[in-house]
Amino acid sequence: MLFTPKGSFIFNRLTLSMDQERYNAREAEPKWQKIWEDAALFQTGNGDSRPKYYVLEMFPYPSGRIHMGHVRNYTMGDVIARYKRAKGFGVLHPMGWDAFGMPAENAAMQNKSHPAEWTYANIATMRAQLKSMGLSLDWSREIATCDVAYYRHEQRLFLDLLDHGFAYRKQSKVNWDPVDCTVLANEQVIDGRGWRSGALVEQRELTQWFLKIGAFADDLLSGLDTLTRWPEKVRLMQANWIGRSEGLLVRFALAPVQTSQESDSVSDAVSEVEVYTTRPDTLFGAKFIAIAADHPLAAACAENNPELADFIAECRRMGTSVAVLETAEKKGYDTGLRVHHPFDENWLLPVYVANFVLMDYGTGAIFGCPAHDQRDLDFANAYGLGNQPVVCPPDQDPATFVITDKAYDGDGTLIHSRFLDGMTIPAAKEAVAKRLEEQTLGNAPQAQRKINFRLRDWGISRQRYWGCPIPIIHCEDCGIVPVPRADLPVVLPKDVSFDEPGNPLDRHPTWKYVACPQCGKAARRETDTMDTFVDSSWYFTRFTDPWNAGDPTTPEAIAHWLPVDQYIGGIEHAILHLLYARFFTRAMQATGQMGEVREPFAGLFTQGMVVHETYRDKAGAWVNPGQLRFETQGNERRAFLLDSGEEVAIGPIEKMSKSKRNTVDPDEIISTYGADTARWFVLTGSPPERDVIWTEEGVQGASKFVQRLWRLVGELMQAAGSEEPAEPAVFGPAASAIRKASHGALIKVESDIERLHFNTAIATIHDLANKLSASIGAIESEEIGADVRFACREAASILIRLFAPMMPHLAEECWAAASFAGLAAQMPWPDADPSLVVEDEMTLPVQVNGRKRADLTIAREASEAEIQAAAAALEAVQKALEGKPVKKIIVVPRRIVNVVA
């Protein structure tokens, strides 16, 4: 007898290594990793003729060690890569390092070493960690952005962008991070603080390099519609960030002023104020004009008005902190200037300098319509300017409709607006635009239609050492001179010091002094380096041909591999990285480096974080879970310190962070349980886009399941015998049940992985294991015929391949132990036979008035009438009807029967 009645297995010592009762991950994992590597299994050449599939996970910053978030991110990518490979695709699955950035400089300051040393040491550590995870990566394509071999091409791309007018220099107000001593892009300022340092950002006036992302604002917006495999949320966030608005530029003529001599001199020099508005329909509700503190007109008025100058200075001070802006009151200062209403020469509007008007949006000037804009209303109420409703809501009487402290911005009909009265808002907008376009002020139309964007151009200058040098030379005679392409790369000097603040490149004794390439005179190099987001804006294209030494990209490789079919990363890059990469794709297309590719990432997936409970001792100090012992009583859990026995408080579940001491080290997990257990865990429990809670019980559960699969495959192969039988013509009930379970699970897992529902794919594999265990446990040895042997062998072969993308090492060990040919990693995805899942009879739930009362088992081919008759005849149905007559019986084929009384 092969099986004991309870199904526990007696191992046959003759069957290969299956006599091991336990699967030893620590031995097996490095063994298979080496076999894969020696066979160069995951290297994909550019001449591959299979249909292509490009899987990419956001490459990591080499901060020191990988964390659980990396494990989750890269496991998901690896499941897809391995699955697609099994499905017959030529899979490109590369890895690299986002290796420039501030932390390396901070480390250099602390350790008195060089950023390169720290960075490359971290890369070596993290590469080894990633390799221990058993990822199917093509390491032959590895890149690090801090390698000259990479950033030389970035300098070339910069020069291409410069030639095409996509890079330019301008003086502007910038976000200055006083801790990192560098400039930040708007996207890098979060709640008024630097995204890395957390320092309150200040405004400074500096000359900076900009990339013209604004040139593609419209295209970046409309392109979002084509990204159907992106999360709706990310597309929406980008659309809001780009912030397109359609409006009108309207010029208001300045009226001569009698009251104030100072203002009078201004109105002599300047004749008009131009405003930008998206609500030209409310022009007859206008009560004032407001200009920004930085508006040239404000500066002109302030020249002879110290009080106004003070007010402007106050506005500027406030502008340095977003936190203050949020709570700031609407404040203004009357310049004394007046303008004529465009439709009525006798109607004068006061011109205020206002703290809520921004110079860098629109024209830095607005007209205020208090009745229909809350901000304008707050201002008007503060300065007693009154309001005039000009849009009447549908349910209000125009005669009595008034606004007091809540502006109305909804739909309605125009009132008190002369020639606009009775119009809808869109009609009124059109009418105003048309009339003002035809009307002239000076010698030009008084108004002009204008589409505006919130998106600002991307400032890329950083006053840091550890970044890609901007290949520019400043010559006193020739001005800005690009480094000739033949002289590239501009290499970072090695001999730099970090013992004082500021930019080491700037204070290097020799590096910046060069001869001007044009006139040969003494000149200086640009000492700013590029924002590290430039590095990550094109790395996905470099992966397609990282061996090309002469050019950043290779047209054939781009055409073959791009776009990335599935990109995986954190939601935190929804705007920053993902928008920049989309911009670079367009800009590089314009410079001829991107072929016909319009969007870099056809499919995007944003995975959730790995979170963990937090613990605090009596003193309130955070405690690491490794120091704790847990007790459970019923549904209550308590935690105690291992050494002292002191009880600690179990706190909320939060993102793993060193400061809260709730991190779990991947290395420890891998050395204790193996990579497969870690990989399995991060996919289980919650859907991939949601956070997953790390628990010790969960890891142990995953580890137990690894062992269970190992035993189950052994049992299946024991039943299957060592000889591979031909497929029998007839299968008995036991064999049929096994085949039905295997093929049913296969169909489900396949569709789950295709939809990236890894958690339900795993549930299905659990379910299959349960079913197979039950089947095998129920079979007596004398029943094992050719059909059962065939079904068990088939089940083992399917089962192993189903979990192979998630637990590749265990799959190889099982595959080999089962004496199947080749490597599991090379096996094609099994073909499902849907006919095996179909049953002759089906069981339909039967409802009475929408409530389930019975089950009806009936032939699959039964007609609707037969089903109706059989359902009505059921005892439970009759009972539930309580004698009431049946009105109708609804039959939804293969789904349900509902008897309506």
The residues in 435-474 that bind RNA, with binding defined as CB under 7 A, are 452, 454
Among 358, 427, 641, 881, binds RNA (CB under 7 A): 358
CA-based nearest residue to 752, from 737, 739, 767: 767
Question: Would you give the distance in Å from CA 550 to the centre of its chain?
Answer: 32
Binding segment for RNA among 132-140, 238-246, 298-306, 497-505 (CB under 7 A)? 238-246
In the region spanning residues 741 to 760, those forming contacts with RNA, defined by CB under 7 A, are: 751, 757, 759-760
Q: Which is nearer to RNA, 8 or 671 (CB)?
A: 8
> Is the distance from CB of 359 to CB of 275 less than 8 angstroms?
no
Per-residue contact track with RNA, 879 to 898, x per CB under 7 A? Answer: xx---------x-x--xx-x
Q: Which is nearer to RNA, 236 or 642 (CB)?
A: 236
Write down the least CB distance from residue 754 to RNA, Å.
11
| CA 890/CA 870 separation, integer angstroms | 13
Q: Which is nearer to RNA, 148 or 890 (CB)?
A: 890
Residue 8, interface with RNA (CB under 7 A)?
yes
Q: Which is nearer to RNA, 658 or 894 (CB)?
A: 894
Instruction: Find all residues with CB under 8 Å of 25, minimum gap 6, and list them.
Output: 673, 674, 675, 676, 677, 706, 809, 810
Q: Which is nearer to RNA, 222 or 374 (CB)?
A: 374
> Is the distance from CB of 648 to CB of 629 less than 8 angstroms?
no
Among 62, 69, 101, 247, binds RNA (CB under 7 A): 247
- The gap between the terminal CA atoms of the chain, to the nearest Å, is 56
| CA 166/CA 591 separation, integer angstroms | 10
> Is the distance from CB of 795 to CB of 822 less than 8 angstroms?
no
Instruction: Find all residues with CB under 8 Å of 749, minimum gap 6, and list them.
Output: 761, 764, 765, 802
Q: Which is nearer to RNA, 304 or 452 (CB)?
A: 452
| CA 789/CA 303 separation, integer angstroms | 97
Indicate the pairing of strand 202-211 with strand 167-177. antiparallel
Residue 850, interface with RNA (CB under 7 A)?
yes
Can you read off the two tokens belonging to residue 541?
């294209």
Among 101, 332, 342, 362, binds RNA (CB under 7 A): 362
Can you read off the two tokens belonging to residue 596?
């016909």
| CA 160/CA 470 separation, integer angstroms | 12
Q: Which is nearer to RNA, 76 or 492 (CB)?
A: 76
In the region spanning residues 255 to 314, those forming contacts with RNA, defined by CB under 7 A, are: 276-279, 292
For residue 12, which phi and psi values (nearest 5 degrees)? -90, 115
In the region spanning residues 213 to 232, those forming contacts with RNA, defined by CB under 7 A, are: 232
Residue 862, interface with RNA (CB under 7 A)?
no
The residue written with tokens 């349910």 in the block is: 395
Binding segment for RNA among 48-56, 84-92, 770-778, 832-840 (CB under 7 A)? 770-778
In the region spanning residues 815 to 844, those forming contacts with RNA, defined by CB under 7 A, are: 843
Residue 685, interface with RNA (CB under 7 A)?
yes
Q: What H or E segment, with its residue span, contains residue 586? A: helix 576-590
Residue 193, sorted as left (phi over 0), alpha (psi -120 to 50) or beta, turns out to be beta
Indicate the pairing of strand 332-341 with strand 344-354. antiparallel
| CA 526/CA 524 separation, integer angstroms | 7
Per-residue contact track with RNA, 708 to 747, x per CB under 7 A? Answer: x---------------------------------------
Q: Which is nearer to RNA, 790 or 803 (CB)?
A: 803
> Is the distance from CB of 901 to CB of 848 less than 8 angstroms?
yes
Among 424, 503, 591, 686, binds RNA (CB under 7 A): 686
Among 507, 618, 629, 704, binds RNA (CB under 7 A): 704
Write down the least CB distance from residue 813 to RNA, Å.
18
Residue 803, interface with RNA (CB under 7 A)?
no
Write down the least CB distance from residue 554 to RNA, Å.
36
In the region spanning residues 479 to 538, those forming contacts with RNA, defined by CB under 7 A, are: none
| CA 844/CA 867 separation, integer angstroms | 9
Write down the least CB distance from residue 901 to RNA, Å.
9
Q: Which is nearer to RNA, 363 or 868 (CB)?
A: 363
| CA 290/CA 353 separation, integer angstroms | 6
Residue 849, interface with RNA (CB under 7 A)?
yes
Decide: helix, strand or coil at residue 694. Answer: coil
Binding segment for RNA among 131-139, 170-178, 243-251, 393-401 (CB under 7 A)? 243-251
Residue 236, interface with RNA (CB under 7 A)?
yes
Residue 7, interface with RNA (CB under 7 A)?
yes
Binding segment for RNA among 84-92, 321-329, 485-493, 721-729 (CB under 7 A)? 321-329
Q: Which is nearer to RNA, 481 or 890 (CB)?
A: 890
| CA 719/CA 712 separation, integer angstroms | 11
| CA 201/CA 184 separation, integer angstroms | 9
Write down the least CB distance from residue 527 to RNA, Å.
30
Residue 701, interface with RNA (CB under 7 A)?
yes
In the region spanning residues 20 to 79, those forming contacts with RNA, defined by CB under 7 A, are: none
Among 116, 179, 190, 650, binds RNA (CB under 7 A): 190
Can you read off the two tokens belonging to residue 789?
């042997």
Q: Which is nearer to RNA, 92 or 867 (CB)?
A: 867
DSSP tag of 655: E
Q: What is the total count of residues that contact RNA (CB under 7 A)?
A: 91
Binding segment for RNA among 235-243, 430-438, 472-480, 857-865 (CB under 7 A)? 235-243
Write down the least CB distance from residue 88 to RNA, Å.
23
Write down the least CB distance from residue 510 to RNA, Å.
42
Instruction: Find all residues with CB under 8 Å of 538, minimum gap 6, and list them.
Output: 154, 157, 552, 581, 584, 588
Write down the least CB distance from residue 267 to RNA, Å.
22
Binding segment for RNA among 509-517, 549-557, 682-690, 791-799 (CB under 7 A)? 682-690
> Is the distance from CB of 265 to CB of 303 less than 8 angstroms?
no
Write down the least CB distance from residue 848 to RNA, Å.
9
441-to-251, 605, 636 alpha-carbon distances in Å: 8, 53, 78
> Is the distance from CB of 824 to CB of 774 less than 8 angstroms?
no
Among 707, 725, 732, 837, binds RNA (CB under 7 A): 707
Exposed/middle/buried for residue 278 (C-beta within 10 Å: 0-12, 13-18, 19+): middle
Among 460, 669, 762, 817, binds RNA (CB under 7 A): 762
In the region spanning residues 555 to 584, those forming contacts with RNA, defined by CB under 7 A, are: 571, 575
Residue 563: is the preceding peptide bond cis (ω within 30°)?
Answer: yes
Instruction: Find all residues with CB under 8 Å of 83, minimum gap 6, and list them.
Output: 753, 805, 829
Among 270, 773, 833, 858, binds RNA (CB under 7 A): 773
461-to-182, 527, 814 alpha-carbon distances in Å: 8, 9, 54
Residue 634, interface with RNA (CB under 7 A)?
yes
52-to-55, 96, 548, 566 alpha-carbon distances in Å: 10, 20, 20, 12
Among 223, 570, 687, 721, binds RNA (CB under 7 A): 687
> Is the distance from CB of 833 to CB of 48 less than 8 angstroms?
no
In the region spanning residues 363 to 382, those forming contacts with RNA, defined by CB under 7 A, are: 363-364, 366-367, 373-375
Residue 352, interface with RNA (CB under 7 A)?
no
Q: Which is nearer to RNA, 126 or 807 (CB)?
A: 807
Residue 397, interface with RNA (CB under 7 A)?
no
Write down the least CB distance from residue 350 to RNA, Å.
16
Residue 317, interface with RNA (CB under 7 A)?
no
Query: What sign does the CA torsion over 197, 198, 202, 207 have?
Result: positive
